[in-house]
């Protein structure tokens, strides 16, 4: 087991290295560079001045050397470099935005799980009932609707027509709220972005829970539990759910990448100041170090999530032995 996880961690580190190399070369080989992107519209800059600015951030060196310097600083000092457009450490910029994205992603994950488990279980137990049909259809809509279209529908309904929810941002601009008023304001801004992300997530979770529980309730030990005369609720929630949730833990880990990806679009719809918006701005400005930093950081989080899901699997399922 220890060996298995040691190997997994090693592979994850290797994956991170490969991602860093791929990104670094991709970004540097693409046409345009940050200095040109920043100063082309400013008249009176001579070529010498531009070259000096490029040399100052090391752009005049061969790509391999640049990568070597970058990765050395990252590995030895945890230094992601400095954003070219903001002139501030990349890590600080990530830290400022990280919690906004985290809040969005984890709230959406938690809410979709809390809804998907009872819905999926009931669908599986009462297969082919009206309940099953309705929620299977809802899940199909969730799988098929573009998140931005769903977001627009919500904005149109709740922000434009009913005017009960704010359409953008994390808080009312320029507010002086404190305490409960501040919390209420934040929560209001939270409702729509989280709903979009949670609904789309819930659709796929529901389908997994339903099919996993359907498999479990056909097992012999469930029949035994029933024949002992246990009530349905206890059979389902105490015996079936425990085993049925095992595959779901795996899904949680692998869905992390999808949710982080999805949050990028949700952040765009609701002008949510998170990592997604940061990366979008970094691309437009050809901000090499910021772009590298956010991408590597996200990949790191996703890999970490998958490792944690694997470890959790051992906790919930004692039958699993990695080797």
Partner 1 sequence: MNRFFKNKMAIVGLAVILLFTAAALLAPILTPHDRDSYNMAQRYAPPSARNLLGTDPMGRDVFTRLLYAGRISLMVGVLSSAISASIGIVAGSLAGFYGKWLDIAIMRVADVFSSLPFYMIAITVMALFEPSVRGTVAVMGILWWTDSARLLRSQILSLREREFMEATTALGISDIKKITQHLLPNAFGPIIVSVTLNIANAILTESALSYLGLGIRIPIPSWGNMLSDAQNMFVLQNYWWIWISPGLCILFTVMSINFIGEGLRDALDPNLDR
Kindly tell me which of 248 and 264 has the beta carbon lying closer to partner 1.
Answer: 264
Kindly tell me which of 23 and 182 has the beta carbon lying closer to partner 1.
Answer: 23
Kindly tell me which of 224 and 254 has the beta carbon lying closer to partner 1.
Answer: 254
9/71 Cα distance (integer angstroms): 19
Kindly tell me which of 47 and 144 has the beta carbon lying closer to partner 1.
Answer: 144
What's the closest the beta carbon of residue 24 comes to partner 1, in angstroms?
Answer: 11
CB 63 within 8 A of CB 25: yes
H or E element, residue 21:
helix 2-29
- Alpha helices by DSSP H, listed for 270-287, are 275-284
CB 15 within 8 A of CB 303: yes
26/309 Cα distance (integer angstroms): 31
CA separation, residue 87 to residues 20, 84, 110, 198, 289 (Å)? 22, 5, 36, 36, 11
What three-state secondary structure class fits 146? coil
What's the closest the beta carbon of residue 140 comes to partner 1, in angstroms?
Answer: 6
Kindly tell me which of 22 and 183 has the beta carbon lying closer to partner 1.
Answer: 22
- Kindly tell me the burial class for residue 259, based on how many C-beta atoms sit within 10 Å of its own C-beta (0-12, 13-18, 19 or more): buried
Q: CA 269: distance to chain centroid?
A: 16
The backbone torsions φ and ψ at residue 79, rounded to the nearest 5 degrees and listed phi first, read -100, 115
Can you give the binding site for partner 1, defined by CB under 8 A? 11-12, 15, 18-19, 23, 26-27, 30-32, 127-128, 133, 140-141, 143-149, 152-153, 155-156, 160, 167, 211, 214, 254, 257-258, 260-262, 264-265, 268, 279-280, 283-284, 291, 294-295, 298-299, 302-303, 306
Kindly tell me which of 11 and 65 has the beta carbon lying closer to partner 1.
Answer: 11
What's the closest the beta carbon of residue 302 comes to partner 1, in angstroms?
Answer: 6
What's the closest the beta carbon of residue 48 comes to partner 1, in angstroms?
Answer: 27
What's the closest the beta carbon of residue 276 comes to partner 1, in angstroms?
Answer: 8
What's the closest the beta carbon of residue 27 comes to partner 1, in angstroms?
Answer: 6
């Amino acid at each position: 087991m220890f060996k298995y996880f040691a190997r997994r961690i090693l592979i994850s580190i290797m994956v991170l290295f490969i991602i860093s190399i791929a990104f670094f070369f991709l970004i540097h080989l693409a046409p345009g560079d940050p200095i040109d992107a920043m100063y082309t519209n400013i008249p009176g800059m001579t070529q010498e001045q531009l070259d000096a600015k490029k040399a100052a951030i090391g752009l005049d060196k061969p790509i391999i050397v640049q990568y070597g310097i970058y990765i050395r600083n990252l590995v030895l000092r945890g230094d992601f470099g400095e954003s070219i457009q903001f002139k501030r450490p990349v890590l600080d910029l990530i830290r400022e935005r990280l919690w906004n994205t985290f809040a969005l992603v984890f709230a959406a994950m938690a809410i979709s799980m809390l809804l998907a488990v009872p819905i999926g279980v009931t669908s599986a137990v009462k297969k082919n009932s009206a309940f099953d049909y309705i929620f299977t259809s809802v899940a199909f809509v969730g799988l098929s609707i573009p998140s931005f279209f769903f977001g627009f529908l919500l904005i149109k309904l709740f922000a434009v027509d009913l005017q009960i929810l704010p359409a953008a941002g994390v808080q009312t601009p320029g507010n002086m709220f404190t305490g409960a008023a501040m919390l209420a304001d934040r929560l209001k801004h939270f409702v729509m972005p989280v709903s979009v992300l949670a609904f789309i997530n819930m659709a796929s979770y529901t389908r997994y829970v339903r099919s996993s529980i359907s498999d479990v309730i056909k097992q012999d030990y469930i029949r035994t539990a029933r024949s002992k005369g246990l009530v349905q609720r206890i059979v389902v929630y105490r015996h079936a759910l425990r085993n049925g949730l095992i595959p779901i833990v795996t899904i949680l880990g692998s869905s992390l990448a999808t949710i982080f990806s999805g949050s990028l679009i949700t952040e765009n719809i609701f002008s949510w100041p998170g990592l997604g918006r940061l990366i979008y701005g970094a691309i437009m400005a050809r901000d090499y170090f910021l772009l590298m930093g956010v991408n590597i950081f996200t990949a790191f989080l996703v890999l970490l999530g998958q490792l944690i899901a694997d470890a959790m699997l051992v906790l919930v399922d004692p039958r699993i032995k990695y080797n």
